[in-house]
Amino acid sequence: MKIKVLGCSGAELPGFGLPSFLLDDSILIDAGTTTAAIGEGAQKKIGHIIITHSHFDHIRGIPTLADNMFLRDPGHSITLVGTKAVLQVIRKNLLNNIVWPDFTRKPNLKKPALKLKVIKTGKPFRILDYRITAERTDHTVPAAGYIIENSKGKKLLYTGDTGPTDRIWKRADMRSGKTAIDGAIIEVTFPNRMKAAAERTGHLTPALLLSELKKLRNFPKKLYITHIKPQYITTVTKELQKLKIKNLKILEKDRTYVI
Ligand SMILES: [Zn+2]
Ligand SMILES: [Zn+2]
């Protein structure tokens, strides 16, 4: 599995992009940074966008990507994948013909620029050759993480935004069986001194990450950190290094990781 990081920060500043990951050139996972990060050719290869939750920093690329596809190739459809609660919020508040055109009906109902695929947590579904399972996380709005398995048995876990939680770790153990998840992309947003703010807003600190990881039966083979607020990047990086977790990497924008 090839994961290109288009953005992996919890706020936007020059050099720091909002979360968005391109899986094997074809599936976009969250859409914080999209159309400013890859060209039209790469954008056209995206067939699906998997969304964790409706917060702006994870959905901003949806309308601009739909617009580009509509302009260049009106027959091209991209499928937006998420739970009912998440997709409803996006339609009602973003693609509502006020903030942005409703590309789920444009250019026409039969071949819209954006198709919607509603998925249920805990119920595996297929996209291309991947078997994907969503599971609820604990955030301030309905949110889900995803476990994505390719045909060769490689498994990727992405939490999206979450505070301390249980279900996603249980689901990851269930999906991975006796082996471990090959790659886990987990959020850490705030430094340890902001534990209260992290818990209130449904996020993790390095110390909270450590206690969450202990809930997993098998430690992920590779652990990637996303969603750090650039304002706290120095402190959070030091605190993560102090944990001395083997195979932990802080994701970097515009880099590609292979699991
Ligand atoms: Zn969020
Ligand atoms: Zn976020």
84 located within any domain: yes
Structural domain range at position 136: 2-252
Q: How many domains does the chain have?
A: 1
8 located within any domain: yes
Radius of gyration of the chain (CA): 17
How far is the centre of ligand 1, averaged over its atoms, from the C-alpha of 10 (Å)? 9
How far is the centre of ligand 1, averaged over its atoms, from the C-alpha of 55 (Å)? 5
Rounded CA-CA distance 12/85 in Å is 26
Q: Check whether the bond before 107 is cis (ω within 30° of 0).
A: yes
How far is the centre of ligand 2, averaged over its atoms, from the C-alpha of 161 (Å)? 6
Q: Is 234 exposed, middle or buried (0-12, 13-18, 19+ CB in 10 A)?
A: exposed
How far is the centre of ligand 2, averaged over its atoms, from the C-alpha of 107 (Å)? 31
Rounded CA-CA distance 47/20 in Å is 15
Q: What pLDDT is attached to residue 203?
A: 98
Helix, strand, coil abundance in the chain, percent, nearest 5: 30, 25, 45
175 located within any domain: yes
259 located within any domain: no
How far is the centre of ligand 2, averaged over its atoms, from the C-alpha of 108 (Å)? 32
Residues by chain with Cβ below 5 Å of ion ligand 2 = 57, 161
Q: What pLDDT is attached to residue 68?
A: 95
Token couple for 226: 């996303």
How far is the centre of ligand 2, averaged over its atoms, from the C-alpha of 96 (Å)? 22
Nearest to 10 by CA among 243, 195, 198, 148: 198
CA torsion through residues 224, 225, 227, 228, sign: negative
> For 20, what's the count of Cα atoms within 13 Å in the CB-facing half-sphere?
33
Rounded CA-CA distance 98/103 in Å is 12
257 located within any domain: no
178 located within any domain: yes
258 located within any domain: no
How far is the centre of ligand 2, averaged over its atoms, from the C-alpha of 34 (Å)? 15
- pLDDT tens for each residue of the chain, 259 residues long: 999 999 999 999 999 999 999 999 999 999 999 999 999 999 999 999 999 999 999 999 999 999 999 998 888 899 999 999 999 999 999 999 999 999 999 988 888 999 999 999 999 999 999 999 999 999 999 999 999 999 999 999 999 999 999 999 999 998 888 889 999 999 999 999 999 999 999 999 999 999 999 999 999 999 999 999 999 999 999 999 999 998 999 999 999 999 9
246 located within any domain: yes
How far is the centre of ligand 1, averaged over its atoms, from the C-alpha of 204 (Å)? 12
Rounded CA-CA distance 138/136 in Å is 7
CATH number at residue 243: 3.60.15.10
How far is the centre of ligand 1, averaged over its atoms, from the C-alpha of 108 (Å)? 32
Q: Which ligand is nearest to the CA of 143?
A: 1
